[in-house]
Amino acid sequence: MDEMKILTFAGSLRKESLNKKLCQQVVNFLQAQKLADAEWIDLRDLEIPLYDEDIESTHGDGTPALVPIGVQKLWTQVQEADALILASPEYNGAISGVMKNTLDWISRKKPSPIAGKHVLFLAASQGALGGVRGLWHTRVPFEAVGCHVYPEMLGIPQAHQVFDGDGKIKDEVTKQRLEKLLQNFVHFLQ
Amino acid sequence: MDEMKILTFAGSLRKESLNKKLCQQVVNFLQAQKLADAEWIDLRDLEIPLYDEDIESTHGDGTPALVPIGVQKLWTQVQEADALILASPEYNGAISGVMKNTLDWISRKKPSPIAGKHVLFLAASQGALGGVRGLWHTRVPFEAVGCHVYPEMLGIPQAHQVFDGDGKIKDEVTKQRLEKLLQNFVHFLQ
Amino acid sequence: MDEMKILTFAGSLRKESLNKKLCQQVVNFLQAQKLADAEWIDLRDLEIPLYDEDIESTHGDGTPALVPIGVQKLWTQVQEADALILASPEYNGAISGVMKNTLDWISRKKPSPIAGKHVLFLAASQGALGGVRGLWHTRVPFEAVGCHVYPEMLGIPQAHQVFDGDGKIKDEVTKQRLEKLLQNFVHFLQ
Amino acid sequence: MDEMKILTFAGSLRKESLNKKLCQQVVNFLQAQKLADAEWIDLRDLEIPLYDEDIESTHGDGTPALVPIGVQKLWTQVQEADALILASPEYNGAISGVMKNTLDWISRKKPSPIAGKHVLFLAASQGALGGVRGLWHTRVPFEAVGCHVYPEMLGIPQAHQVFDGDGKIKDEVTKQRLEKLLQNFVHFLQ
């Protein structure tokens, strides 16, 4: 079959985000193993504003042309992907505001670019629990817009000690758990 | 006892937001009935950006002075309030990104300005269900930061037909349900 | 391909349960349309007790032979099914105790008979909202045991007026929504 | 003020349940410190069946007399308590079926014996995470029936190593965290 297109992005903006590093390692592994045509986008580059219906209705007339450029780009990339792999921090036991705001914008396009897509959730966290509680909260709105959320998830605790200076995962156990999960997910997609 | 200070704000930004109108009616009622010293703030005026740790660490040195001014204002107002009444739309069956992003900023201050506060949630929605499912998702991170969330909530369905041209609630049944809930909440606080 | 085996059961016990009727209509439709080899089981017949680890350890020695017969039957039937269609009432905004207790027993078998199965959730409710809020709570533990929960769900409000004396769905709109959803689910499975 | 009445019970049935032991330690501490008039009930003794509406309607005529005796006892005890402290295991990332079934029965009485009560949730777990994820799922239906759920919760990980042969908490850090939380909860109630 044709190679699967997988889009990855992180639910945090800061440059040294552990979840961005995680996305990059996912892309590297999927490409190196020829498991998928994987791409990472940095939400910071898209400069997506906080959702405000007036942005659409004041500057817009219902045509996508007047929606923020970054949002339009994301619509296209989500639409073209066969599946998403999203890495998101846990803020206050829940979804990050950045991730939720991104989904709120994605869901404004009709027909939906994200309905029916398969999604795998990952988290990197400096805490002891790896952000998995946040992921259980994060799943909900993605399922509500029609995503097939993969049951298994991976939260990486103490993640600030897990990546080396080049952003590679130096902890062998974590690396193997991640790679096994990615293989299972791609296998499931096929 | 001294008059209770209650802060209200809405989880959406657009000018004609139904949830902003709801906040204003809450303030009007509480003031008119001398139930509380109530205040509404418009998040749009605070110009709070999407949460980005680099904003704190690049422009900041750990002192609150370099955090966005709007965030600092909100910290003070939340801190000074005895309780919060929050009106928030349901986006994709869940918390609005704007509301979550606001909470993510609030929770960055130590000691927490919001822990231990009592919170009442309301929702105005153009849909048939009134946004209550979204409120159940919205409660979670507020509880996680230590808020006492009031069990009863009110979702107003078909809310675009409920307010008149002056932003007053013209539907008598809805008006009475709201006023009864506000009275119960203030009574509980006392 | 071979015909898909689909198992259905309801999360309530009473004889005239609306959710049991819904299960039966699901089976009738899937069989009549030759969409799947579908079977309904009545949890009441299985006489599954409340979960109590002492039942396993007192009467049992780790071999399945001493687990309640009804639980063992259910293990086998879940294991043999390709997918599950579950209809469950909403009790107190959440999963029914009967459904959760059933899952708690199912999850005791190793290797898991339910991990990796696709599940579609339905609800019949006498209320105005159709029990969908309860289903969002019901999804969580099924996802936690590794099920692929289908994103779309169907809640039937005022369900006591929807079935005729023979247990058939007399409301044409509801009937068509259900049948369309079942077709989509089976199509997705294939 | 008069002494507060606090009722405690556990969401599991087995005799050696860690959550039952936890309840007993809670009662011992509250009594010894004269913080409250605390009582523990063992759900096993109440012999509450799985909820089945036919039990009410077949054997019953709407009068409480024909509801299972254990349920009626629980109704009275919940009604007479000022607050509840509940210890519940996490099963499949969610509420235990036993706890949910118990709440389903409690909620059948009108007027509600549990609405407006304050509830503190604890969990003892053999796992590494202490069952807190399950507690976040457990809160939901209690809030839906009108309980004021205390924001802070305590999950005790590796709990099988935490109790000594007499059921006392031998781990000093855990003991102090529990006692501090109980003091805070009682202080909040007052």
Q: Cβ contacts (< 8 Å) between C44 and chain D: which residues?
A: 52
Q: What is the pTM of this model?
A: 0.95
Q: Cβ contacts (< 8 Å) between B136 and chain D: which residues?
A: 140
- The one-letter amino acid code at D57 reads S
Distance from CA of A162 to the nearest CA of D (A): 20
Pick from C135, C145, C148, C185 the residue to mutate for testing the A interface (most A CBs within 10 Å). Answer: C148
- The one-letter amino acid code at C28 reads N
- For chain C, say whether D108 makes contact (Cβ under 8 Å): no
- Mean pLDDT confidence for D135-139: 97
> Which among C116, C140, C148 is the nearest to A148, CB-wise?
C148
> Which among B136, B146, B150 is the nearest to D151, CB-wise?
B146
Interchain proximity A151–C147, CB inside 8 Å: yes
Question: What distance in Å separates the CA atoms of residue B118 and residue B141, rounded to the nearest whole number?
Answer: 14
pLDDT confidence of residue A26:
98
Task: Report the residue count for chain C.
Answer: 190
Q: What is the complex's ipTM, to 2 decimals?
A: 0.94
- For chain C, say whether A147 makes contact (Cβ under 8 Å): yes
pLDDT confidence of residue C100:
98
pLDDT confidence of residue B65:
47
CB within 8 A of C35, min separation 6: which ones?
C4, C29, C182, C183, C186
Residue D55 pLDDT level (bands cut at 50, 70, 90): confident
**A153-172 residues touching D, CB cutoff 8 A:** none
Which secondary structure element, helix H or strand E, spans residue B32, and what is its range? helix B18-32
Ranges of beta strands (E only) in A57-187 are 83-87, 118-124, 148-149, 154-156
CB within 8 A of D133, min separation 6: which ones?
A132, A133, A136, D90, D93
- Mean pLDDT confidence for D2-27: 95
Question: What distance in Å separates the CA atoms of residue A184 and residue A152, rounded to the nearest whole number?
Answer: 10
What dihedral do alpha carbons D169, D175, D181, D184 form, nearest 10°?
Answer: 110
> Which among A147, A150, A152 is the nearest to C151, CB-wise?
A147
Interchain proximity C97–D54, CB inside 8 Å: no
pLDDT tens by residue, B79-135:
999 999 999 999 999 999 999 999 999 999 999 999 999 999 999 999 888 899 999
Closest-CA residue in chain D for C18?
D53
- Give the orientation angle of helix D69-80 with respect to helix D97-106, to 10 degrees: 80
User: Is a pLDDT exceeding 70 seen at residue D76?
Assistant: yes
Interchain proximity D148–B151, CB inside 8 Å: yes
Interchain proximity A132–D136, CB inside 8 Å: no
CB within 8 A of C19, min separation 6: which ones?
C10, C11, C12, C87, C88, C89, C122, C123, C124
- For chain D, say whether C100 makes contact (Cβ under 8 Å): yes
> Which among C144, C146, C151 is the nearest to A148, CB-wise?
C151
pLDDT tens by residue, C138-177:
999 999 999 999 999 999 999 999 999 999 999 999 999 9
Residue B64 pLDDT level (bands cut at 50, 70, 90): very low
CB within 8 A of C147, min separation 6: which ones?
A151, C84, C114, C115, C116, C117, C118, C119
- Mean pLDDT confidence for A171-185: 97
Residue A3 pLDDT level (bands cut at 50, 70, 90): confident
